[in-house]
Amino acid sequence: MESTQTQALPNSQILAFLPTVDGPWQGTARVWFSAPEPVDESPVEMQLRSKLDGCLLIMEYKGSFQGKPLEGMMMWTWTKKGECSLAWVDSFHTGSHIMHFTGKLTETGFDVHGTYAAGSETWGWRTLLEPAENGALEMKAFNIKPDGIEFPATHVLLKRTHA
């Protein structure tokens, strides 16, 4: 495996942003099931840590859905070739199952895709993570029906807080 010093990283806004992310963040999480309007909007607190010479981002979060507490963790990794992956687990969306995603670095951030079983069907889940205006961080996720139709699932806009 080549180190960060021997090969240039792909050009992506997220990689320039990540060295500055360590610490507490907070924001608002919105959740959709299928309706055009979100079924929930609630505060979220997140702790971010960049590790492994800048090739791993750990996101630990706490929030709620319709008044019930939830917590979760995401681990994002990427390679010098522009590939990226995500391991995600939380107490609301995945239960105790770790959901795995693969994807690529884009000009602005990460774009990963995973699948999950919904009864006898296989559905997709796509997650984007990108820097936003004024130093914010934005994460958008989409459910993908078996026929390929994509619709909003979650949206989180985070701003840095000071511990």
CB under 8 A, 24+ apart: contacts of 44-50:
44/156, 44/158, 46/158, 47/23, 48/21, 48/22, 48/23, 48/137, 49/22, 50/18, 50/19, 50/21, 50/22
Write down the pLDDT at residue 62. Answer: 97
Average pLDDT, the chain: 89
Domain contains 151: no
With tokens 């021997």, the residue in question is 6
* Interval 15-45: pLDDT, tens: 888 888 999 999 999 999 877 889 999 999 9
Domain contains 67: yes
Write down the pLDDT at residue 10. Answer: 60
Q: How confident is the model at residue 3 (pLDDT cuts 50, 70, 90)?
A: very low
Indicate which CATH number applies to the domain containing 68. Answer: 2.40.128
Q: How many domains does the chain divide into?
A: 1
